[in-house]
Amino acid sequence: MSSDPHILRLDSVTRRFGGLTAVDRVSFHVRRGEVFALIGPNGAGKTTLFNGITGLIPPSAGTVTFDGTDITGLKPHRVAWMGIARTFQNIRLFDYMSVLDNVRVGQHCRMHAKVWDALLKTPLARSEEHEVEDKARELLRFVGIEHHAHNYARNLPYGQQRRLEIARALASGPSLLLLDEPAAGFTPQEKVELMRLVERICAEGITVFLIEHDMKVVMGISRRIVVLDHGEKIAEGTPEEVRTNRRVVEAYLGRSA
Amino acid sequence: MSAAVAAVPSWVQRQSRNPNAVVYTALVVGALIYPTVVQFVNPEQANPLIGLASDAGVYVLMAIGLNVVVGFAGLLDLGYAAFFAIGAYTYALLASGQLALSPAHHAVHLPFWLLLFIAVAVAAACGALLGAPTLRLRGDYLAIVTLGFGEIVPRVFRNLPQWTGGVNAVPAIDAPSLPVWLDGPWDNGADLQIVHDLKLTAGQPVGFYLLMMLLVFVSVLLVRNLQRSRLGRAWMAVREDEVAAAAMGVNTVTIKLLAFSIGAAVSGFAGCYFGAKLSSVSPENFTFLVSVTVLLMVTLGGMGNIPGVIVGALVIYFVQYKILGDLPGWTSSIGSSLGLPGKTVTRLSDLATDLNFVVFGLILVTTMLLRPQGLVPSRARQEELTKGTASEAVADVMGTA
């Protein structure tokens, strides 16, 4: 682990789809241990940026540096192994696997059992399975859905599916957690619970980087905010600074306020 | 001690609600008593019937292997017979005089038990080899490439006559032999004696039957271990959502390669056995029809569920080789017993022969309509999923009683 105070650095990251530039030379740094938010109107390129960081759709240009290592264009599973976990805007759980198994899969990249261990059920595989199950149950308790451990993921209510996705992401032992609109479709009560959960995750020493539309959530939990509009960064700063920024108000808050 | 004994009834009760446990029990018991039962029921036909059952085992093995690819990892493979062919030819070439006629000029006669492992390794390697360039493809595209591979492999064997004998097949393949065997009254009332180097020949189908049981047992055990491991979960995750699996740290390419490779490995067992039992291997044994039949067994039996695909394989094999094969005979005997004129009876039985595949199709369509989820459907993590409800309910009942 490097002593860099910035866990994640984006340097003029660009992503083009044919003639369309979805993300245009965006640079910012996420500090270790903070809750950092990315906001912007629909289609501003927020999720594209997340996909660029996690390697699902590598950037066309620019560099992504995580923990002092250049991870631009690494395959998604390598990125996960490095310590970046994510959730998805439209929940992507393993529907026909149990809740517990979903979280177990999350630990895949931290496990060591090889094919032979699995085939022959060696002591290593057995003890690892025990550890994985214990950790999975602990994580389910952490997000508050342990009573659903044996249900199929798809049978969970919407809000708990979002929690499960967070638990699954945490299972990979990340130092940076990317949450893509975690409060989408939540009731005010659920939003408050989510904010508490994010604070607890942060207290575990995990840096949280989230995309969110709900201003109450964003302003309530994030230390710093970056605003994206039409693929360009238009502002960066504390919630107060962003709230009073003229361009932000024009581009985004102006419409809703 | 007494607590353990007291727990037995509730354990049995729990297992009796678990369809997989019931099916496994039925299969094991059925497999054990089958040779004795046919001996009693139909003594003249006993040997062919036992042989039929052990040939069905070839398909059971293939269904177990293909289930890894299709059922667990969700990859549609239409050329699975290719790996079966590779397994069979591995055995055929390394356990016969064939290579003496080839440019190698040396016959190789390795023992069956060693070749079992070699065939598995070769099939697995070919699975990985095919997988490497194709697994970037998804769904239909993958299916088409595997279809092509399934066509190419038998053609390669056919068009390399100097090595494989081409269309003339590899003849006179060695029979597997047991180094030591205890002979006794169970073998047609022979005296109790130790036999050395006992050859398994087609005349003694019980030996092949037991060998097949062993292969199926080992395959089921290993594949079941895999299913419940880190690897099995990763397969299912890739099947459910490849993007999410990758984002969770699953190397989807390696995982899919392993599925292909391990699926192929099981058919290496099947191929090896097939060559040994038939003692001749020809390219005609590995047509597209074989691939489709195995896929059918997996789908109809219950994709992703090991006992399901075993049942599927047995049912389809039985329908194809017993019911459809006997259909003309039955038709003519029913016709004669109804007193129909000889000409009509012949016509009817010819019609039954012609309509063979129509009947087969009707049976398949009816089954899929009645049980679209398969005969013994997959209950992913059935125990886990029911632990929270069923066992608690049992505990409640026991507690209040």
Listing DSSP states for B147-171 in one string gives HHHHHHHHHHHHT-HHHH-GGG-B-
Give the residue from B135, B221, B233 with the most A CB atoms within 10 Å of its CB, the best one to mutate.
B233
Which of A57, A94, A100 is the best residue to mutate to test the B interface, defined by the most B CB atoms within 10 Å of its own CB? Answer: A94
pLDDT of residue A252: 67
A94 and B240 in contact by Cβ < 8 A?
yes
- Tell me if A115 and B246 make a contact (CB, 8 A cut-off): no
A73 token code pair: 């264009």
Task: Report the residue from B234, B249, B258 with minimal CB separation from A81.
Answer: B249
**Nearest CB partner across the interface for B251, out of A77, A95, A121:** A77
- Distance, in Å, from the CA atom of B66 to the CA atom of B375, rounded to the nearest integer, reads 17
A:B CB pairs within 8 Å: 125
Place of tokens 């194709």: B134
CB atoms within 10 A of CB B105: 8
Strands A232-237 and A69-70: unpaired
- Going by the DSSP 8-state scheme, the letter that residue A147 receives in this structure is G
Q: What angle do CA B240, B243, B244 make, to 5 degrees?
A: 70
| A2-14: pLDDT as tens digits | 567 889 999 999 9
Q: Which residue has the higher pLDDT, B393 or B283?
A: B283
Please give the mean pLDDT across all residues of chain B.
Answer: 83
> Reduced to 3 states, what is the DSSP secondary structure of residue B304?
coil
- State residue B401's pLDDT score: 32
What is the identity of the amino acid at A240? Answer: E
Q: Give the pLDDT confidence score for residue B331 in this predicted structure.
A: 82
Q: Could you report the per-residue pLDDT of B252-270, keeping only the tens digit for each?
A: 999 999 999 999 999 988 9
- Please give, rounded to a whole number of angstroms, the shortest distance from the CA of A113 to a CA of chain B: 7
Closest residue of B to A174, CA-based?
B248
Structural contact between residues B124 and B117, judged by C-beta atoms closer than 8 angstroms: no
CB contact under 8 A, A150 and B386: yes
CB spacing of A105 vs B251 below 8 angstroms: no
Average pLDDT over residues B353-371: 85
pLDDT higher for B138 or B399? B138
**Percent above pLDDT 70 for chain B:** 89
Chain B positions with Cβ closer than 8 Å to A? 222, 225-226, 229-234, 236-237, 240-241, 243-252, 258, 262, 380-381, 384-388
Give the mean pLDDT of B223-237: 93
Comparing B378 with A18, the larger pLDDT belongs to A18
Phi, psi of B118 (to 5 degrees): -65, -45
**Chain B partners within 8 Å of A56 (Cβ):** 243, 246-247
pLDDT score, position A248:
84
Strand, coil or helix: A1: coil
Q: Do A152 and B251 touch (CB under 8 A)?
A: no
Residue of B136, B225, B227, B229 to mutate for A, most A C-beta atoms under 10 A = B229
Look at residue B109 and tell me whether its pLDDT is greater than 90.
Answer: no
Residue with more model confidence, B380 or A199: A199
Query: Taking CA atoms, what residue in B is nearest to A92?
Result: B244
Question: Across the interface, which of B230, B232, B244 has its CB nearest the CB of A94?
Answer: B244
Asked whether the predicted pLDDT for residue A207 surpasses 70, the reply is yes
Q: What pLDDT is recorded for position A250?
A: 81
Task: Tell me whether 0.95 is exceeded by the ipTM.
Answer: no
Q: Which of B222, B237, B384 sits opposite A100 (nearest CB)?
A: B384
**Is A105's CB within 8 Å of B234's CB?**
yes
- CB of A139 within 8 Å of any CB in chain B? no
Query: Nearest 5°: CA angle at B386, between B385 and B391?
Result: 145
Residue B190's pLDDT band (cuts 50, 70, 90): low
Q: Is B391 a residue whose pLDDT tops 70?
A: no
3-state secondary structure of B339: coil
Q: What is the pLDDT of residues B17-71, one digit of tens each?
A: 778 888 888 899 988 888 888 888 888 888 888 888 888 999 999 999 999 999 9
CA distance B10 to chain A (A): 21
Residues from chain B that touch A113, judged by Cβ atoms under 8 A, are: 229-231
Q: B296: helix, coil or strand?
A: helix
- Domain chopping of chain B, boundaries: 33-388
- Write down the pTM of the prediction: 0.86
A109 touches chain B (CB under 8 A): yes
Nearest to B170 by CA among B181, B158, B179: B158
Cβ–Cβ below 8 Å for B247 and A54: yes
Q: Which residue has the tokens 């560099």?
A: A63
Among B233, B248, B388, select the one facing A80 at the smallest CB separation: B248
The C-alpha angle B100, B103, B105, rounded to 5 degrees, equals: 30
Q: Could you tell me if B222 and A119 are in contact, meaning their C-beta atoms sit under 8 angstroms apart? A: yes
- Residues 6 or more apart from B384 whose CB is under 8 A from it? A98, A100, A101, A149, A150
Q: What is the pLDDT of residues A121-136, one digit of tens each?
A: 889 999 999 999 999 9
Higher pLDDT, B93 or B394: B93
CA B212 from centroid of its chain's CA atoms: 10
Phi-psi region of A51 (alpha: psi -120 to 50; beta: other; left: phi over 0): alpha
Of A17-21, B47-51, B185-189, B245-249, which range is least confident?
B185-189
Residues of A in contact with B384 (CB under 8 A): 98, 100-101, 149-150
Name the percent of chain A lying above pLDDT 70.
Answer: 96
- Which residues of chain B lie closer than 8 angstroms to A147, CB-CB? 388
Work out the angle between the directed axes of helices B230-240 and A99-106 (0-180°, nearest 10).
110
CA distance A135 to chain B (A): 14
Contact in structure between A53 and B202 (CB atoms under 8 Å): no
Average pLDDT score over residue span B78-107: 84
Residue A256 has pLDDT above 60, yes or no: no
Q: How far apart are CA A66 and CA B170, in angstroms?
A: 59
- For the record, the structure tokens of B102 come out as 């080839």
- Residue B167 pLDDT: 75
Mutate to test the interface with A, among B135, B226, B230 (most CBs of A within 10 A): B230
Closest approach of B389 to chain A, Cα-based (Å) = 9
CB A207 within 8 A of CB A33: yes
What part of A 76-105 touches B (C-beta under 8 Å)? 76-77, 80-81, 85-86, 88, 92-98, 100-101, 104-105
Verify whether the Cβ–Cβ distance B229 to A113 is below 8 Å: yes
Interface test with B, best of A75, A95, A105 (most B CBs within 10 A): A105
